[in-house]
Amino acid sequence: CPSASPRHERRQALATLAASESPPMRRVLSSAPAAEMIGAAVAEKAAVRALSARAVSTAAAVATEEGGGISMKTKVPGPVGLRLMEQHGPQGASGGAISLFCDYRASDGCYLVDADGNRMLDMFSQIASLPLGYNHPSLLAAQADPLLATYSTSRCAIGLMPPMELPELLDETFLKIAPAGLSRVQTMLCGSSANENVFKAAMFAYRAKQRAKAGRGPTDFTRDELESCMVNQSPGCANDLSILSFRGGFHGRTMAALTCTHSKPVHKLDAPAFDWPTADFPALQYPLEHHAAENAAEEARCVDGARAIFEARLAEGRPVVGLIIEPILSEGGDLHASPSFFASLQRLCGEFDAAFIVDEVQTGVMASGHMWAHQAWGLPEAPDFVVFSKKALLGGYYFKEAFQPPQGYRIFNTWMGDMTKLLLFRAVLEAAEREGLQARAVSTGAALMRTLEAARERRPRCWGLHCRLARQQPDA
């Protein structure tokens, strides 16, 4: 690629910052939040030049250490990639957003190889879903487990006829890393399906409480309920209940999850949505230490706005029965808030008998230095639900006993997860423990903050542009 090409200049700058740091730092810089942050910083030519200068003395060492480093042979996409796009177009084009075809057999670590043999530093990690990069030895070794072959060739309906190894595998994976106070877990297929079923579970629990007040059991349905639900009407369908979400949030693309998504119009255009409320998320000013009063006022405004929604909906006889929030609104623009803001939302949920749902699809599994980013908030008790996917390799959620489904087939689909992914996730956790990856996330996050704080001293006006990265450590 010509050195004057804006695409090449941007890619080189992104690679340079990673190349100039230690291996742990390179892992942090290959994460999706870091990629978004650095991508904004290098939009300015001054940042590009500063980062590029640091690569001159380190590129050779990095290339040796990482098995070849960056190697560009063609434009991206190149001739092979363009031919594959032309071939795939009439097949449906996988939705139409493909940017390049990849050679995953040739990819390794944090380097992605495309169909034309270009080897690139991957700052995207398959939409932040690769916990160990490409072709990690631990995951390759897990392929030798005979159970993996069994689960692959005879995929089971976990919700109906699970394999005998399921309880043990859950103990060794998701329950091993469960947030304090949450001892139940439900696997699903992806983050969207997990959120959809969380919303259902929250509504089932709320309806059960309403029936209890009327002296009925949780599944003592009236004839009117049984008949009206079949034509999508109340009282059988809970059309009067809703989930509160926040501007800038992203929770998936299926119908209810999409209703709670407010990050980009392209996700929502021409799709129907439920009549569910949306609250403001704080727009903090940076550096945080220079705007403490303004940010506290902004967070208080947003909490008051959420309270007003709870009160108005309750007065209208259509209560909010759940609130869903991300620790970092990643897809919506890297938006952050203080631990006290999230604690205030949890208190609101308690006051209005609504489920407090934390969506950790983006932030879960050590990305923040904690196993779960909400652990940095210091909440007095666990959320009612914690949703996971991406780096967990399959979707699902933790939940409190109060939200156990009242009968079978209420939370259900054919697969209810994927046993092969449980085996692979066990290998991920073993590798993370063996290699100390969670501690590395903490130390490299601190190193990254020191680098950005030093950059702020040199270029104060750039701080708000490329350092809206709030440290997710307990003392942050």
The secondary element (H helix, E strand) that includes residue 387 is strand 385-388
Strands 320-325 and 278-279, sheet pairing: unpaired
Tally of residues, the chain: 476
Roughly what angle, to the nearest 10 degrees, separates helices 45-55 and 6-19? 50
Residue type, 442: V
Residue pair 357/198 in contact (Cβ under 8 Å)? The answer is: yes
CB 398 within 8 A of CB 178: yes
Instruction: Give phi and psi for 35, each to the nearest 5.
Output: -60, -40
- DSSP letter string, 280-328: PPP---SSGGG-HHHHHHHHHHHHHHHHHHHHHHHHTT--EEEEEE-SS
Give the DSSP letter of residue 232: T
Q: Residue 8, class by beta-carbon neighbours within 10 Å (0-12 exposed, 13-18 middle, 19+ buried)? A: middle
CA neighbor of 286 nearest in space, from 336, 215, 211:
336
Q: Does residue 468 sit in helix, strand or coil?
A: coil
Mapped onto helix, strand or coil, the DSSP state of residue 271 is: coil
Query: One-letter amino acid identity for 411?
Result: I
Alpha helices (H) along 229-291: 255-259, 265-268
| Residue of 110, 179, 248, 250 whose CA lies nearest to 397 | 179
How is residue 143 annotated by DSSP? T
Distance CA 476, CA 470 (A): 8
Question: In b/e form, how buried is each residue of 145-171, taking b as 16+ CB within 10 angstroms?
Answer: eeebebbeeeebebbeebbeeeeebbe
> Which amino acid belongs to residue 429?
L
Residues acting as catalytic residues: 250, 359, 390, 414
The radius of gyration of the chain's CA atoms, rounded to the nearest angstrom, is 24
Nearest CA among 197, 179, 177 for reference residue 187: 197
Q: Which of 330, 428, 340 is nearest to 130 (CA)?
A: 428
